[in-house]
Chains A and B, each alone.
Chain A
């Protein structure tokens, strides 16, 4: 019981770091920005502004959204450093990259 409470407290204390959020717009069949640099713990949210559905699919299948219709969004929390290349499975010429650093 006590440990769980402590864990919760730790989580709450670390909230400000975890709450960092960055948005990527999908517009005119492009991810904007195409390359995004973030630090570990950033939550990235893709929002589709097009009239056509798109998806967000990491090339090694680390993350993969469903079809995002107009105004739909998809979020992923980057909790490890690394480079994450992704594309739209409907329009594979649409590619982007998230660079996560410590």
Chain B
């Protein structure tokens, strides 16, 4: 049965009235959905029960990479007493992919409380991934006394500011943005003027035909302001990206898949590997959502991103850990 269609809410209406029909498509496939760009219009192709796509156009990829997110190593409450186990399942999933991913992105909240032993446990597990992992921090990775010092010691080498950087792979320009520092009371997350200036400078050398992948922990677009699910100055970054032909913005933080498309920019948040969170506004708070133990893996997952040759190269495939 399709577990996702049974969830009490669809967020599409709330977020995207004009994309209602399109996004509804994402509700029917239990195993997942692949998004492919076709003539500038993103199309959803359903996956069958075995996780395969009927339409080969969606999968004719020249390279692919994987996003994992929100491992929350150190969490031990009811919603998932063993996030180590579920992260291991996610890693096994990546290892089992028919084609080794070119690289892996971890979009933050590696740990739950930024303890050295949590970072150690996570690093030990993530070593099992078959490709290089590129990280950005989540706010749960900056809770040490040094306010992110432990994260930056481990993952900040060769980065700017609080850990932002960019690199190229297979002709795609990857940009890692950091929006989990300098939180201000009553405000959403922020990138800050220094990082935005760096981004403008970084993009100067990137031609508008180069596919761009931006990855950051907290959604760059405002998904739900009352829960702080957004980045206040994210629109400044988005404005710089509008002239590019293919932009994919990948986030974590909200432990569920929500996607929207705006012109050439696809915004996508991934499931986590630790515990689910409620859909925007459907609960009194965004705290962990406890589901039946045998259902948990329906709510956890990874995202596979495939690039096909042509004008609109990136397709996103979300799969759960079932």
Given contacts A91-B228, A92-B228, A93-B186, contact A51 B114 (CB under 8 A): no
Q: How far is the CB of A71 from chain B (nearest CB, A)?
A: 11
* A28 with B185: CB separation less than 8 A: no
- Tell me which of A28, A51, A67, A92 contacts B113 (CB under 8 A): A67
Interface of B is mostly: loop
Decide yes or no whether A32 CB sits under 8 A from chain B: no
* A87 with B186: CB separation less than 8 A: yes
Measuring CB to CB, which residues of chain B are less than 8 angstroms from any residue of chain A? 77-79, 112-114, 139-140, 143, 145, 183-189, 226-228, 284-288
Measuring CB to CB, which residues of chain A are less than 8 angstroms from any residue of chain B? 28-30, 50-53, 55, 57, 59, 66-67, 69-70, 85-87, 89-93, 95
* A52 with B287: CB separation less than 8 A: yes
Q: How far is the CB of A60 from chain B (nearest CB, A)?
A: 10
Interchain CA distance A92-B228 in the complex, whole Å: 7
Give 21 pairs: A residue, B residue, CB < 8 Å, sorted on A: A28-B284, A29-B285, A30-B285, A50-B287, A53-B112, A53-B113, A53-B140, A66-B143, A66-B145, A69-B113, A86-B185, A87-B186, A90-B139, A90-B140, A90-B183, A91-B227, A91-B228, A92-B187, A92-B228, A95-B185, A95-B186
Q: Which residues of A contact B145 (CB under 8 A)?
A: 66
Residue of A nearest to B77 (CB): A51
* A92 with B185: CB separation less than 8 A: yes
Q: How far is the CB of A91 from chain B (nearest CB, A)?
A: 6
Residue of A nearest to B283 (CB): A28
Given contacts A67-B143, A90-B140, contact A51 B187 (CB under 8 A): no
Interchain CA distance A90-B77 in the complex, whole Å: 18
Q: Which residues of A contact B77 (CB under 8 A)?
A: 51, 70
